Amino acid sequence: MIKIQNLHKRFGNNEVLKGIDLEINHGEVVVVIGPSGSGKSTLLRCLNYLETPDKGILAINGFQVNAEKVHKQEIRNIRKSSAMVFQSYNLFKNKTALENITEALTTVKKMSKSEAETVGEALLTQVGLLEKRNQYPSCLSGGQQQRIGIARAMAVNPHVILFDEPTSALDPELVGEVLSVIRSLAEKHMTMIIVTHEMGFAREVADRVIFMDHGVVVEQGTPDEIFCTPKHERTQKFLKQII
Ligand code: ADP
Ligand code: MG
């Protein structure tokens, strides 16, 4: 469903993505691990066209973009195919929990306010926060804010949700509630790409683990293959440092 071919991205002299090739199936949960600065966030941001890749072909669910000759409409289609969940939640501070979710539904999807609220309330229920519908982000815990962030990502019905370290800004006691929402999406076969340092969670939820270093995919495989029998020295070294 997702095909990434020879994706390149540089910032000035810093070549951050050096030709990434990946294929991801519908319903697959792919976890991306790797050292800080290896290009994980940039990869996710290029998939959503938050960053413009220099070279490469991206295809999501039939929509395709060739970075070297793009049309505005193609970028719009690719953007709509995915939704991003950020480490820092990025909620609208001046909107309630419910409004954060309905915003894209009324503006992008052109739903009526009442239609959007029905969808929004169903999503709040899914993430266990219906009773917080009228609260502003500043009155919610980090874990609750991130669960709203996930509900907001789900609202636009994306083909894939991209998670960039969704729990790394959270106090340890709040990590579990966010992971359990992501786990429930995995059970529903939502296609997801998750950058995380939560290795236990990665093992449990991933269909496939990808190890990135210095802008390349060094190694990929099942969680058992990557965590128990990593082939590459760089993967072994990275896992030794963090586990
Ligand atoms: P990771 O998420 O794996 O930690 P990133 O994708 O955030 O890695 O960053 C990879 C490299 O790209 C780093 O060297 C970082 O400094 C650089 N980088 C990321 N975003 C930008 C940007 N907007 N401008 C300049 N350099 C950037
Ligand atoms: Mg990052």
Q: What is the pLDDT of residue 86?
A: 96
Ligand 1 midpoint to CA 43 (Å): 10
Report the pLDDT averaged over residues 200-219: 96
ipTM above 0.90, yes or no: yes
The residue whose C-alpha atom lies closest to atom 13 belonging to ligand 1 is 37
For residue 26, the SS3 value is coil
Q: Which residues pair with 23 in a beta bridge?
A: 3
* H-only helix segments in 48-89: 72-81
Q: Write b or e for each residue in 2-19: b if 16 or more Cβ atoms lie within 10 A of its Cβ, otherwise e.
A: bebbebbbeeeeeebbee
In the chain, pLDDT over 90 holds for what percent of residues? Answer: 94
Q: What is the pLDDT of residues 153-190, one digit of tens each?
A: 999 999 999 999 999 999 999 999 999 999 999 999 99
Taking the model in full, what pTM does it have? 0.96
What's the Cα-to-Cα distance from 194 to each of 48, 198, 240, rounded to whole Å?
A: 14, 10, 21
Q: What is the pLDDT of residues 56-103, one digit of tens each?
A: 999 999 999 999 998 888 999 999 999 999 999 999 999 999 999 999
Give residues whose Cβ lies within 5 Å of ion ligand 2.
Answer: 40-41
Q: Which of 107, 99, 180, 156 is nearest to 133 (CA)?
A: 99
Q: Identify the residues whose C-beta falls under 6 Å from ligand 1.
A: 11, 14, 16, 34, 36-42
